[in-house]
Amino acid sequence: MDRSIFMLLSLSFATRVHSMQDFATCVDAEHSSEDVLPTKSVSLLQSDFSDFRSHLRQTKSEALETESDHSEHTAPGHVQPPGETSAATKPPAAAATKSPAVAAAKPPAVSSSLQKPPVAAATKPPAASSSLQKPPAAAATKPLDDPIQYNHALPDHGSPRVPGGVQLPGEDSGTTDPVFTPTGHGEPPGQESAATEPAFSDHAAPGEESNPHKHPSIFKLHFAQLDREVFWWVLIAMLAFTIVVDRMEYYATLASEHDMTKQMYLARLNAELMMFGLVSTCVFVTEQFFEPSVEDVILFEFVDIFCSAGACGLFITGLVLFILHHTMERQWKVFGGRENQSHSMREEHRTQAARDASSSLLAQALHADYLDQVDVKHCEFCIMSARFKRAHALPDGFDYPEYLKLSLTDSICDLMNINWVSWLMVLGFAIFLYVFHYMHGHYTVGGYFVVFAVGVAVLFLVHILVYVAVLQGNKYLSEGLGCDSLKTLQEQLREAVENPELLSVEPVQRLNNKLVYLLEQTIQLVGLATSFQGAFFCMHILYNVPSTVWRLVLFTPIVLNSTVLLPLIISHFTVLKAYCSPDHAILDMTLEWSTKLEEDFNFLSKQLKTEKVSLEKFRSELNGNSQTTFLKSMVDMGIHCSSKRAYRMYKALADERGQVDPNAVIDALPQS
């Protein structure tokens, strides 16, 4: 113990000598520094010894009762390794009862500090003080070889300190001592003079100037914070992910190159993703400039992800509808007599296939004794197709299955294309919830659970009501087609197949435009609300409701709404709308697509009439073994043809082996 006391007194003496050298410069000229220093030093050493003894007795009595808080004695930005105990957080008794062997290992550092010049001793704390407490934050985060950026604390007479401003165990850190800079001028605690501030903050450690109450901005990063291994890995991964997304989009475009419905779906998907990406980017940039608090930035990010996930959740319903779209497309092809045929068919072939399928269905219906023995869906399709062509003055080669397919695709795209009315209603609902929150305040956990459960139940009931309304409309359509009884079905089907010219030229009664718009807006709104409910459940309810049973009770209606009820509503509503309230844009697209193959053969015929390519040369050099060789052989002959045009002609004329006969191509050319 005596040796430890001697060491501390020696350290205190070294500091007093340095401090009194500054004091000596302020006395009158007639007093020399040699006369002042001894008197002052002895007085200060006596005061330090008395204070040290009283402080040592106090720390021994409080060692078993209190333990200093780790956060109050650790420098800001300092991260304590797991399992390591800071010296400042050890009980005072532990520091006071340190073994003599450990204390004996320290004197060389003490004696060296006494031999150094005053500036060096002031700018570099002795090694012995590190066993009591970590250096201050400013000293820990700045280079040790830069004395301009270091301040040194003058010991306080009221509480003994180790030289260098190091705090003893149990000492209160609430007061701050005056600080001496190398120039001798005092600066406020935690600040540096303008003359000593470096021009660039290259030496600033990460988080040195960060405010713990504010979210750090990406526009206020030091070089050392950015130039880290994590930054480079994240940047490389992001660039690689960008390439993957670009290739995925390329292959998706390639797969939809020859299918108009896939092209429409992909175009809508890209448009919506671009809009959500733009909104998310604007929110993120605004957050960086606004610099909210740590608590607020979590809500910022929650709202950003919540809105994006809620809007993108409609893509899940769209994906289910896209799968259902393929099922219904195959069914409509079977009704049109093209079960194993491509959509690229000559007009006369397509018309003949539809007639054969209708004649076979009529024979089956005429020999049936009960309505259950007839394919009612197929009969409805044939009657609707004949009446629709007659009422709208469409040619016999009009592709009604293609028209229904495009109508269904348009309905799917309308579901994902959230209009401003839907967003306005969502905004109004959010304002209503805010007003209710302002008037009522916070709920209990059970109250929040009840509110969300009621919302799920109400939205599920709305889906049921909309589905019932659409089914009721399809029922009226079936009765109007005469398919509610076997006798009327046979009469209407016979007229549609054998005598289509006797059908009425008056269009069927159109649905009210306001009613159609209301149904479309309702379908989109309930779909958007279901998507937001699913996003809120996954992001918030799932964490706050630990019961598995209640999770299933809440999540099941959301899944049924998105994957079952909403696809059924859209599929039935599409057939009803396409027949009763046709969209002229869809009709135009269908007519263009129906005559696309005829235009391709006309285009080829014009190039074969030139002197460069004759029919004999075309017949001898055309290679139709595959789609690639088919296009390449035409290009080699000097025929200008795109891959899409060559694909349509190849698919229309290829046999079961996937080969095209040159004579079949010549026969398909229009006769001049």
Other CB atoms closer than 10 Å to residue 486's CB: what's the count?
A: 17
Model pLDDT, residue 542: 92
Model pLDDT, residue 145: 39
Q: Do 8 and 168 meet the contact criterion of CB atoms below 8 Å apart? A: no
Which among 93-97, 126-130, 141-145, 416-420 has the top mean pLDDT?
416-420
Q: Which of 185-189, 312-316, 330-334, 561-565 has the lowest mean pLDDT?
A: 185-189
Q: Which of 43-52, 141-150, 194-203 has the lowest mean pLDDT?
A: 141-150
> What confidence category does residue 165 fall into, taking pLDDT thresholds of 50, 70 and 90?
very low
96-105 — which CB contacts under 8 Å span 24+ positions?
96/56, 96/59, 96/60, 96/63, 96/169, 98/4, 98/131, 100/3, 100/4, 103/3, 103/4, 103/7, 104/3
The yes-or-no verdict on residue 152 having pLDDT over 90 is no
The yes-or-no verdict on residue 127 having pLDDT over 70 is no
Domain boundaries in the chain? Answer: 2-187, 294-592, 595-668
Averaged pLDDT of the chain: 73
Closest by CA position to 300, among listed 310, 311, 285, 313: 285
Model pLDDT, residue 441: 84
Model pLDDT, residue 501: 78
Cα–Cα distances (Å) from 473 to 432, 488, 520, in that order, read 34, 20, 14
The yes-or-no verdict on residue 90 having pLDDT over 60 is no
- Nearest 5°: phi and psi at 437? -65, -40
Q: Could you read off the pLDDT of 325-379 as tens digits, one per residue?
A: 888 888 888 888 877 655 566 777 788 888 888 889 999 888 888 888 889 999 9
Share of the chain above pLDDT 90, in %: 17
The yes-or-no verdict on residue 504 having pLDDT over 80 is no
The yes-or-no verdict on residue 130 having pLDDT over 60 is no
Model pLDDT, residue 537: 94
What is the mean pLDDT of the segment spanning 261-285? 82
Other CB atoms closer than 10 Å to residue 144's CB: what's the count?
A: 13
Share of the chain above pLDDT 70, in %: 66
> What confidence category does residue 194 fall into, taking pLDDT thresholds of 50, 70 and 90?
very low
The yes-or-no verdict on residue 292 having pLDDT over 90 is no
Token readout for 159 is 């509480």
> What confidence category does residue 166 fall into, taking pLDDT thresholds of 50, 70 and 90?
very low
> What confidence category does residue 663 fall into, taking pLDDT thresholds of 50, 70 and 90?
confident
Q: Which of 81-95, 380-394, 643-657 has the lowest mean pLDDT?
A: 81-95
- Interstrand relation of 152-153 and 186-187 (parallel, antiparallel or unpaired): unpaired
The yes-or-no verdict on residue 174 having pLDDT over 70 is no
Name residue, tokens 């990460």: 206
Model pLDDT, residue 672: 59
Distance separating alpha carbons of residues 672 and 667, to the nearest angstrom: 12
Token readout for 25 is 């410069």
Three-state secondary-structure class, residue 535: helix
The yes-or-no verdict on residue 3 having pLDDT over 70 is no
Does pTM top 0.75 for this prediction?
A: no
Distance separating alpha carbons of residues 489 and 379, to the nearest angstrom: 8
Model pLDDT, residue 64: 53
- Residues paired with residue 152 on neighbouring β-strands, in sequence order: 180
DSSP string, 448-491: HHHHHHHHHHHHHHHHHHHHHHHHHHHHHHHHHHT-SSHHHHHH
Higher pLDDT, 349 or 180: 349
Model pLDDT, residue 627: 86
Model pLDDT, residue 230: 93
The yes-or-no verdict on residue 113 having pLDDT over 70 is no
Model pLDDT, residue 421: 92
What is the mean pLDDT of the segment spanning 633-639? 88
Model pLDDT, residue 398: 87
Q: Could you read off the pLDDT of 508-549 as tens digits, one per residue?
A: 667 777 888 888 899 999 999 999 999 999 999 999 998 999
> What confidence category does residue 142 fall into, taking pLDDT thresholds of 50, 70 and 90?
very low
- Residues paired with residue 180 on neighbouring β-strands, in sequence order: 152, 186
Q: Do 465 and 569 meet the contact criterion of CB atoms below 8 Å apart? A: no
Model pLDDT, residue 82: 43
Three-state secondary-structure class, residue 443: coil
